[in-house]
Chain A
Amino acid sequence: MIRRIGSRLVQAPLILWAVYTITFVMVVSVPGNPFEHEGGRNLSPVIEMGLRQRYGMEDNWQFYWRYLTGLLHGDLGQSLHYRDWTCNQIVRHSLPVSAALGSLALLIALFAGVGLGVIGAVRRHTVWDYLTLGVAVVGISVPTFVIGAGLLILLAVWVRLFPPGGWGTPAQLVLPAVTLALPFMAYIARLTRLGMIDVLSSDFLRTARAKGLSESQVVLKHALRVAFLPVLSFLGPAAAAVLTGSFVIEKVFNVPGLGLHFVNGVINRDQMLILAAVTVYAGLIVLFNLLVDIAYTWLDPRISAEAI
């Protein structure tokens, strides 16, 4: 196991460097001038020259190396569109927001999803099973911005149960997190349900049952542990998707997260902000995948670390 973790740790910086380079190439290939306003006035060429000199962006090679060396020092650069802000400041303000939103959403998805899946599997063809199916249906087929807008108007405007968007209080967390969680909850519920059904009917549990353990113990301790594995391997990509897919929710609920800044960065051709956001995301994803790998080997008694 140590060997595996070690090799992953060595590969991580290489992966990040590859991500940075691919992104850089795409970022400078996107047509459009980062310094040109969309407002009324045109940019004069002398001013543009001055700005480029200042930020070290006179040619792409210079830009690539300067930014890379900056990254190694933890300097994410300067936003070209919001010149009063450095990318570090922007990330520092918005990453915790996205992370909080994302992790809460994942937790909700995990617990609600697994719970629904287990209940659905154990109580097949009952109301609970159909509830699971219902959640799954809504979660995977209705776009999240529709659900979000619906919840917003239902629970924040007609019935003023929650604040209408924004960020800063616990109440403002609820609606966006639930909306974000829904598709993942649906998928996890399905995965768990299928996995549980498989396991419940397999030989694996016969020994446990023969030992005289109670049914709930059988279910929770042994069956779930196995059925959980596909869910766990889904968590890696799910975390990535939650973190990077949150911009839709961020727009609907006016949550100042990194996802929205990234999208606006692309629209504004804010090259440094785009690079900063992608690097940060990739770093987080690499980290999360590593953690998931560790958890996976720990939990699964059937798989040894060297296999896979």
Chain B
Amino acid sequence: MAKYVVTVVVAALALTWLLAGAAVKHPRADFVFVNRGTIATLDPAAMSWMQDIRLALTVWEGLYSYHPVTTEPIPASSLPAEISSDGRTYTFRIRPEARWSNGDPVTAHDFAYAWRRAVEPGTSADYAFFFNLIEGVEAYVAWRYENVERISRLPADQRIVERDMHLREADARWQSVGMGVIDEKTLRVTLKRPVAYFLDLCAFSTFLPVHRQSVERFKVVGDTGLIYYDEQWTKPYNTHFNGPFVMTEWLFRRSIKLERNPHYWDRQAVKLNTIQMLDVEDANTAWLMYSAGAVDWLSSLDMDYAPELIRRSISPMPGALNGASSRHVATPTRRDIHAFPAFGTYFYNFNCEPKLPDGTDNPWYDRRVRQAFALAVDKQQLVDRVIRRGNLPADTFIPPRSIPNYPAVEGLSYDPVRARELLAEAGWTDMSNFPVVEVLFNTGFNHGQIAEAICKMWETNLGVKTAIRGIEVKLFREDKKNARYVVCRASWYGDYGDPTTFLEMFQSENGNNDSHFRDRTYDGMLDEAERQPTPEMRLAKLAEVERYLVNDALPLLPLYYYVNIFALDPDRVANLHLTPRMMTMLKYVEVSP
């Protein structure tokens, strides 16, 4: 019996040892960071999460990329673009020395291929709509969808023939889309109308090139004509990269390892040799790992005690918010905590449909009621007492001073007296018949606390009855999208450096307009802005649009601007900048040992 026991024990231990992968010891990478949130996908065309984009910008490089400090678009794989006098045609010459990690030169075909992939319906790209700015794309995509649907309704035996015919025609039609390869190194793009921020878009992840020969091997043509690509192509052993780093290993929800790309055209500028990105689920654990020295950079601090860290922070880095919060301690000591403004806003949506979900009339259909509710919230108090991360209270939608040359806009500030006046003007003198104000949010973070605090304010200032409803995020998304709420929480981060990234949300037909706010005046004002002759006049017009949005129309109740928090030792890690858009360019980062 003893012999039996001993054998079993030894075998089990050996097995455990092997399974745990204990045999190999890995040296620590030059730079280890926690990229908050698991990588959803590494297909640049399909990605929409910040952590995916951050990684994609490290291993691939677009025609343009972001300046590490100002995040303005700068030429990258392309030489500076030639823009025609009418502002509609861009000619990009690819750098002669730009290469893929296997030595292949980067060509205009790579970009044209990648961009076509991004608009193809089968790729299911969230940001495919960016390409609608290019002449002919929108029509092409609509035509593709129509035909896919038509073919899907055919009996199975007729499909293949129809499909092949359709795909041949699609290739022909694509030639007339405003995107063309002039020669190996030249790409010409023609837009529908001049777009001030097109170069900014060219730096975005959706516009990144992919290694054509690698990706093409994974192409699958569905029998209804949808073309997709088996996502296995994003594995490091299946593809090549043209960015400052190459991916060498990707362990699911564990880590990604990067090494410097020896074929990168600007390799002199790249200082790091190896990078490791860790995927850590629990915020507290991530902080403990950073404290133990296992991690060099935490890209966000979500623990409950983060405000305490911010209170103690005295960051030497430019752009950091120090002493902004009224609760800062007298002698701050932490040089490694950096809180800085982000390019995003936290707000509440008002349901702007004529009827509430339960069928009764919707008081918020009258914008005076919306204005009243906005005036009745003391945002400074909210920020100081509930959130306490040094956020600034928001009266506008777009974070101030976040877009160069964009005029300042002011919204409604706290005025409970005016709020009650407005309610009376709208016909609400007796609040006892007012429906219960129910705030919908997704559980987690501090949405519930914010909701409670705001509800208290409304109760006190307006005399309404309130309730809160916290549900799980997937269900919350559905209710929000379908306007099955009275008031719900929302947030938005800007995707590119132009006011329209925020303002378009409230256009009547926009797919993200969860308030269901339909206002012809608003849509008209946005169209007018696009017709302005100069960029300055355009921005001035857009500022007018925002003024209208946050003073008059108010489908939303802006609450505060987001704040990002990094943890890193500024004396060891250099060239990692605090940029609101969080497009951290790891290319330039340097670490001293």
Q: List chain A positions with a Cβ less than 8 A from chain B.
A: 31-33, 36-42, 44, 46-47, 50-51, 53-54, 81-86, 89-90, 93-94, 96-97, 99-100, 103-104, 107, 111, 149, 152-153, 156-157, 160, 163-170, 173, 221, 225, 250-254, 256, 260-261, 267-269
Contact = CB atoms under 8 A, between A and B. Distances in A.
Contact of A94 (B122, B228, B252): B252
Contacts of B280: 165, 254
B446 interface: no
A153 B284 CA distance: 10
Contacts of A44: 511
Interface string B476-517: 011001000000000111000000000000000001101000
8 contacts: A36-B478, A40-B493, A42-B511, A83-B46, A100-B16, A100-B19, A169-B20, A269-B474
Contact of A83 (B25, B41, B491): B41
B578 interface: no
Nearest to A99: B19
A225 B1 CA distance: 9
Interface string B118-142: 0001101010000000000000000
Interface residues of B, number: 68
B26 interface: yes
Given A93-B251, A169-B20, A254-B281, 6 more contacts: A54-B122, A97-B19, A97-B20, A173-B20, A173-B22, A251-B282
B152 A53 contact: yes
Interface string B450-486: 0000000000000000000000111101100100000
B281 A260 contact: yes
A32 B475 contact: yes
Contacts of A225: 1
B253 interface: yes
Given A31-B475, A103-B15, A166 B282 contact: no
A48 to B, nearest CB: 8
B189 to A, nearest CB: 24
B124 A51 contact: yes
Contacts of B12: 103, 107
A156 B121 contact: no
B40 interface: yes
B285 interface: yes
Contacts of A32: 472, 474-475, 478
A257 to B, nearest CB: 10
Contacts of B145: 46
A167 B226 CA distance: 40
Interface in B22-54: 22, 25-26, 38-43, 46, 48-49
Nearest to A171: B22
Interface stretch (B56-64, B231-239, B565-573): B231-239
Chain B CB count within 10 A is highest, among A84, A164, A173, for A84
Contacts of B492: 40
Contacts of B20: 96-97, 100, 167-170, 173
B278 interface: yes
Contacts of A160: 292
B103 interface: no
Contacts of A93: 251-252, 254
B121 A164 contact: no
Contact of A47 (B38, B121, B514): B121
